[in-house]
Amino acid sequence: MLGMSSTTTPLPDALAKIVERFKRRTNPKQRYEQLLWYAKKLQEMPEVDKTPENKVPGCVSQVFITANLEDEKVWYQGDSDAQLVKGLVALLIEGLNGLTPEEIVQVSPDFIQEMGLNVSLTPSRANGFYNIFQTMKKKALGFQLGMASD
């Protein structure tokens, strides 16, 4: 058991806080309410950014994610036409915004299980959550590679 924890990089603070928040909500209804709360907090995404190249693949609902690099930190924006999925987008943005590409690339998707959301969500939604996270990671990796080639 001990060997496992040493290999995973600790979660970034903001994401760790979110994971804790969900772990405290033991029933699925509370987790849904928490997701809807995040969805309400999400900043409006400009309509012009809702393009095919910003669409997250493999999601049942429409999900869009953009990423910008400012001062070597990544800033995401996102939206979804489904409220629960919008909540997932919002919590990932809150958890990953303002980190360096390296920090984002190092985050392991294990936290998705840890939050217990995979139990509360339908398989397609849980899979969508994973896809959104992977898309955000890919964008961060793109910046990381781009910075390396400068």
Instruction: Dump the DSSP string for 26-49.
Output: -SHHHHHHHHHHHHHHSPPPPGGG
The answer to whether 60 is a known catalytic residue is no
Q: Which helix (H) or strand (E) holds 103?
A: helix 101-106
**Which among 19, 35, 59, 136 is annotated as catalytic?**
59
| HEC per residue, 115-145 | CCHHHHCCHHHHHHHHHHHHHHHHHHHHHHH
Is residue 15 left, alpha or beta, with left meaning phi > 0 and alpha meaning psi from -120 to 50? alpha
Residues with catalytic roles:
59
